[in-house]
């Protein structure tokens, strides 16, 4: 195994870190113009580098944020991204060292949880990340689409200029606030990046105004088709604070001219857009993908932060090989969760706990998959009721 050392990068080293990350994704180095924009969403005080001698061979970064948990509370949270290792230095322990160091430091700094969006699904379970929310891709045939007469209505939609990406839209986002477990607070650089155009399209933003003010927005781009190809409107971001705002924004999207299809990726599994259509077959769910990969950094605080359903208390044993301070027995009941010395009825590792924590997967489902060990079968239905949320978790923030 090659020897390497880890340290925080300084400002002058961030571009090399970005290029290393892009190379790991098989992309070319960043251009001067794009780097000027990229500096707005890097934080060198949170960017780690792995070095072999003086050569950078791996990197990972994060942003400070907050995560909404079941019950409506938010906890200190780190959004992890730009994790990469040089192709000639993979499988030598570099990634493991980076993530162990990063997760340990984040816990010590007070983050209760961390999340990321995974390019490869087989990597992050080894480090305690579990899939905690999912999203679906909805494709609507615009020319066949129309909302039925009972779809929510009220309010107006207006287009806003590009300055709104860093002014109006963040204000609306904060005003709407967390509506589901999995919501994360966005940082200033995230908004700047949202305004950057995708290749071949211009981004457009529209804001919905309801009876109490601005309560939703959508950001989208259109790629015009040629030679028989379809013109596609792709939803890049959509936030709605009410059913009226959701319906109003989609009603607006479905009336944009010179568009054949509207595509919205990673939307909530239970978002009722297709139910608002007069012709249900005009909307088609093309895929369901993992969204939030959650890592509980401080299990006692995470368990104590969320609320639980009505059921008999259950004692669970949590194992965490990477952060052993999390290992222990926890008594979870309608009144909350706390460490205990009582015998465990269920046992699972921190990865499986992450999958259940926001309410995406029931403990009994995890048990059926072999991810929860059951000492007391009567505890499983109680655990299902305790961890149930009544809301499908979803973040809606890609980073």
Assigned token pair, 371:
């991810």
Q: pLDDT-based confidence at 261, cuts 50/70/90?
A: very high
Nearest to 218 by CA among 238, 202, 243: 238
Assigned token pair, 325:
């301070």
At the topology level, CATH places domain 135-180+187-289 in Aminopeptidase (3.40.630)
User: How large is the average pLDDT for residues 79-100?
Assistant: 96
Q: pLDDT-based confidence at 2, cuts 50/70/90?
A: low
Per the annotation, the verdict on 399 as an active-site residue is yes
pLDDT in tens, 279-301: 999 999 999 999 999 999 999 99
Q: pLDDT-based confidence at 181, cuts 50/70/90?
A: very high
The domain ranges of the chain are 5-133, 135-180+187-289
pLDDT score at 33? 85
**Binding-site residue ranges for acetyl-CoA:** 83-85, 91-96, 119-120
Which of these is catalytic: 21, 41, 124, 127?
124
Q: Could you give the dihedral angle defined by the CA atoms of residues 337, 343, 346 and 348, in that order, rounded to the nearest 10 degrees?
A: 80
Per the annotation, the verdict on 124 as an active-site residue is yes
For domain 5-133, say whether CATH 3.40.630.30 is its number. Answer: yes
pTM of the model: 0.95
Lowest mean pLDDT: which of 183-192, 219-228, 236-245?
A: 219-228
pLDDT score at 153? 95
pLDDT in tens, 325-363: 999 999 999 999 999 999 999 999 999 999 999 999 999
- Scanning the structure block, which residue is given the tokens 């259940």? 356
Query: Does position 168 have pLDDT exceeding 90, yes or no?
Result: yes
pLDDT in tens, 340-350: 999 999 999 99
Q: What rounded mean pLDDT belongs to the chain?
A: 95
- Scanning the structure block, which residue is given the tokens 């992050």? 124
For 94-118, b where at least 16 C-beta lie within 10 A, e where not — what string? bbebbbeebbebbbeeebbbbbbbb
Q: pLDDT-based confidence at 252, cuts 50/70/90?
A: very high
The fraction of the chain above a pLDDT of 90, given in percent, is 89
Domain 5-133 shares a fold with domain 135-180+187-289 = yes
255/262 Cα distance (integer angstroms):
10
């Amino acid at each position: 195994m090659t020897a390497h050392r880890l340290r925080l990068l300084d400002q002058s080293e961030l571009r090399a870190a970005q290029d290393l990350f892009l190379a790991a994704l098989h992309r070319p180095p960043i251009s001067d113009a794009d780097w000027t924009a990229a500096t707005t969403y890097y934080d060198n005080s949170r960017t780690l580098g792995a070095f072999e001698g003086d050569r950078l061979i791996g990197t990972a970064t994060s942003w400070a944020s907050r995560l909404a948990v079941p019950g409506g509370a938010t906890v200190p949270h780190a959004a992890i991204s730009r994790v990469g290792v040089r192709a000639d230095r993979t499988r030598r322990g570099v990634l493991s060292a980076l993530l162990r160091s990063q997760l340990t430091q984040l816990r010590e700094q007070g983050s209760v949880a961390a999340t990321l969006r995974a390019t490869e699904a087989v990597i992050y379970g080894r480090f305690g990340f579990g899939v905690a929310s999912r999203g679906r891709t909805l494709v609507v045939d615009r020319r066949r689409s129309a909302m039925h007469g009972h779809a929510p209505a009220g309010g107006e939609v207006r287009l806003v200029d590009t300055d709104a990406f860093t002014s109006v839209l963040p204000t609306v986002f904060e005003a709407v606030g967390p509506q589901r477990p999995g919501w994360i607070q966005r940082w200033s650089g995230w908004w700047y990046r949202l305004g950057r155009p995708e290749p071949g399209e211009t981004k457009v933003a529209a804001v919905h105004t309801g009876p109490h003010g601005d309560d939703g927005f959508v950001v989208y781009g259109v790629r015009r088709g040629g030679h028989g190809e379809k013109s596609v409107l792709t939803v890049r971001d959509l936030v709605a604070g009410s059913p009226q705002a959701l319906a109003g924004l989609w009603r607006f999207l479905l009336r944009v001219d010179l568009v054949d299809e509207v595509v919205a990726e990673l939307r909530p599994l239970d978002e009722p857009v297709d139910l608002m259509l007069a012709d249900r077959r005009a909307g088609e769910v093309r895929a369901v993908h993992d969204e939030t990969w959650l890592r509980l950094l401080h299990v006692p605080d995470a368990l104590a932060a969320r609320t639980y359903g009505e059921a008999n208390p259950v004692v669970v044993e949590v194992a965490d090989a990477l952060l052993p301070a999390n290992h222990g027995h926890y008594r979870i009941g309608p009144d909350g969760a706390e460490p205990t010395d009582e015998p465990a009825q269920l046992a699972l590792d921190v990865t499986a706990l992450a999958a259940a924590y926001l309410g995406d997967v029931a403990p009994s489902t995890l048990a059926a998959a072999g991810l929860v060990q059951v000492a007391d079968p009567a505890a499983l239905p109680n655990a299902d009721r305790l961890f149930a949320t009544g809301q499908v978790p979803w973040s809606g923030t890609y980073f």
